[in-house]
Chain A
Amino acid sequence: MKEWAGLAARLLTGGVWIYAGALKLPDPDASVAAVRAYELLPGDSAVTVGHLLPILEVVIGAMLVLGVLVRGAAVISALLFVAFVVGIISVWSRGIEIDCGCFGGGGYDPDATSKYPWEIARDTGLLALSVFLVWLPRSRWALDSVLFRHTDHLEGLEELDELEEHEAYEGS
């Protein structure tokens, strides 16, 4: 049951990441502007973050959907959601009205204040799903179970006999 919940969490969180990243990938300039609008990052580091985020989001999303290194991907996913929630709370408390730029777009938005609570709720929900996956990374239909399959049990005594024969052969 928990493994099916893990699958659902992976597909939902990963799907949102892929969607959000793919929308931002075609326009790096807009992505930088969206990051800059938060007025949080010093110097021109907003440029670096703006260029890095879209591809990082797509890759993390793909890892979650495919089920590759789920725990690691979920840790990064959770950290990103924490950063986004902090960012939105920060602009909200400073009275800056911007589109969160979560799914492309970004910049000034006169209706932003009414959207912040929903955006925080959404990111917190996805953060909770990410934390769930950190806690319980094993789930159905994950590539991890193929990549890291367990073969550390001997298939009965027949296999041991084979091993012994092998050793005897090597010893001779």
Chain B
Amino acid sequence: MSKKSRAEERAAKAAAALAARKRQERRRHVLIALAVVMAMTVIVGAGFAINKIRDEKVDEGISKTTAYDLSIGDEDAPHAVIIYEDFLCPVCQAFEAASRDEFAALAADGKVYVSYRPFNLFSDGDDPRKEYSVASAAAFAVVLEESGAEVAKEYHDLLYENQPSEAGPFPDADWFVDLAMEAGASESDVRDGIEGGDGVDWVEKASALAESRGVHSTPTILLDGKEYRDGRTLDEVAANLAAAVS
């Protein structure tokens, strides 16, 4: 064998070895990339599942009724809707505007039982919005106690129609009394209670109830014990919910 061909053979061998190693390396890289992608997918999937489980705690079970609500319709109606809401929450106002009349009609037809549950969403004592949130629900509790469910429903609706901005300024007790009278309450029945904050205890208990049920945002809407959020906007949610119970 000549020297030259020996060198050529050696070069060819080197090239072949190099090509084999390149193939091997490419395979190794693909496997590593696949392993990393799979690991990341597992982490994202696990985090997603944990988040989902943690968020699915609002479940009312069979307790349609509570002492801290305003209900319309027949308790034995085929469907029960529970609405946790805060009188200061603008989204609740939008939901009320979209759903109120329809739910009233459906309840009157015996198709649905609706339990409105106003509470104070702001657990942080320093939140400036807490004051109105508590005062409005407390005034509502006084009207419910003194003037009955029908006037209280009207008061509930008026509180939403006249909702102040979340940024304030917030109205005083006189404003709550005037609104109660507009709803049909007599001043002598409600003034002392509203000015004296007699409903605050009711609000604290209603808020504790909401907290114990895992309600942390408003409005939280439940249909037959399960949280209902089907819809792009709250208007859609209201329309879908009405369609689901009618």
Contact = CB atoms under 8 A, between A and B. Distances in A.
Given A55-B48, A160-B10, A154 B17 contact: yes
Interface in B47-74: 47-48, 51-52, 54-55
A15 to B, nearest CB: 18
Interface string B219-232: 00000000001111
A101 to B, nearest CB: 13
Given A59-B40, A147-B32, A152-B21, A51 B55 contact: yes
B55 A29 contact: yes
Interface residues of A, number: 41
Contacts of A42: 232
Contacts of B90: 108
B29 to A, nearest CB: 5
Contacts of B51: 25, 28, 31, 51-52, 54-55
A58 B54 contact: no
A152 B231 CA distance: 56
A54 B13 contact: no
Secondary structure call for the B interface: helix
Nearest to B218: A33
B108 interface: no
Contact of B33 (A39, A44, A69, A163): A69
Given A107-B91, A148-B29, A44 B48 contact: no
A147 B31 CA distance: 11
Contacts, number: 90
Contacts of A59: 40, 43-44, 47
B143 to A, nearest CB: 27
Contacts of A44: 229-231
Nearest to A164: B13
A11 interface: no
B205 interface: no
21 contacts: A25-B51, A28-B54, A29-B217, A32-B229, A40-B232, A42-B232, A43-B231, A47-B229, A51-B55, A54-B47, A59-B43, A59-B44, A69-B36, A108-B91, A108-B166, A147-B36, A150-B25, A151-B25, A153-B18, A154-B18, A163-B13
Interface of B: 10, 13-14, 17-18, 21-22, 25, 29, 32-33, 36-37, 40, 43-44, 47-48, 51-52, 54-55, 90-91, 165-167, 216-217, 229-233
